Amino acid sequence: MKPNFFRELWVSLMLMIGLMGCGPMATNTEDQPMAESTETVRQFLERSEQESLVLGRETGAANWVRATYLTPDTAVIAAKAGERGLAFQNELFERAMGFRDQPMDAESARIIELILRGSFMPAPNDEALRAELSQVSTALEGLYGAGEYCDPDTGICRSLPELENVLATSRDYDEQLQAWIGWRTVSVPMRPMYERFVELNNIGARDQGYEDLSQIWKGGYDMDEADFDLESERLWSQVEPLYESLQCHVRAKLNEQYGDSRVPLDAPIPAHLLGNMWAQTWSNIYDLVEPYPGVASLDVTASLQSQNYDAVRMTEMAEAFFTSLGLPELPQSFWQNSMLTKPADRDVVCHASAWDLDNGNDPRIKQCVEANEDQLITLHHELGHIYYFLLYKDQRPFLKGGAHDGFHEAVGDTIVLSMTPAYLQAQGLVPSVAISKEALINQQMKLALDRIAFLPFGKLMDHWRWPIFTGEVSPEDFNESWWALRREYQGVAPPVPRSEADFDPGAKYHIPAHVPYMRYFLSHVMQFQFHQALCNASGYEGPLHDCSIYGSEAAGERLGAMLSMGASQPWPNAMRAITGQERMDAQAILAYFAPLSDWLAEQNQGRQCGW
Q: Is 368 exposed, middle or buried (0-12, 13-18, 19+ CB in 10 A)?
A: buried
Examine the residue annotation and report whether 352 is marked as an active-site residue of this protein: yes
Examine the residue annotation and report whether 409 is marked as an active-site residue of this protein: yes
Q: What are phi and psi of 269, to 5 degrees?
A: -80, 135
Examine the residue annotation and report whether 351 is marked as an active-site residue of this protein: yes
Q: Which of 214, 196, 188 is nearest to 506 (CA)?
A: 188
Among the residues of 117-224, which ranges form H helices? 127-145, 160-169, 173-183, 190-207, 213-218
List Cβ neighbours of 52 (8 Å cut-off, separation of 6 or more). 10, 11, 13, 17, 88, 92, 397, 398
Radius of gyration of the chain (CA): 24
Examine the residue annotation and report whether 510 is marked as an active-site residue of this protein: yes
Examine the residue annotation and report whether 382 is marked as an active-site residue of this protein: yes
**CA 418, CA 420: separation in Å to the nearest integer?**
5
**CA 266, CA 77: separation in Å to the nearest integer?**
52
Q: What are phi and psi of 240, to 5 degrees?
A: -55, -45
- Choose the catalytic residue: 113, 370, 373, 382: 382
- What is the crossing angle of helices 437-470 and 518-538, to 10°? 140
C-beta separation of 15 from 62 below 8 A: no
Q: Which of 413, 385, 384, 383 is nearest to 524 (CA)?
A: 413
Taking the CA of residue 20 as centre, how many other CA atoms within 13 Å lie in the half-sphere pointing to its CB?
A: 29
* C-alpha of 312 from chain center: 23
C-beta separation of 454 from 280 below 8 A: yes
Number of H helices, E strands in the chain: 24, 6
Q: Which helix (H) or strand (E) holds 158?
A: strand 157-159
- Choose the catalytic residue: 520, 524, 531, 545: 520
- Choose the catalytic residue: 249, 272, 351, 380: 351
**CA 607, CA 244: separation in Å to the nearest integer?**
12
- Choose the catalytic residue: 352, 354, 537, 567: 352
- Choose the catalytic residue: 272, 381, 404, 545: 381
**CA 317, CA 322: separation in Å to the nearest integer?**
9
Helix (H, G, I), strand (E, B) or coil at 436: coil
- Choose the catalytic residue: 249, 385, 404, 531: 385
**CA 217, CA 18: separation in Å to the nearest integer?**
10
Examine the residue annotation and report whether 463 is marked as an active-site residue of this protein: no
- Choose the catalytic residue: 510, 514, 531, 545: 510
**CA 466, CA 120: separation in Å to the nearest integer?**
12
Residues annotated as catalytic are: 351-352, 381-382, 385, 409, 510, 520
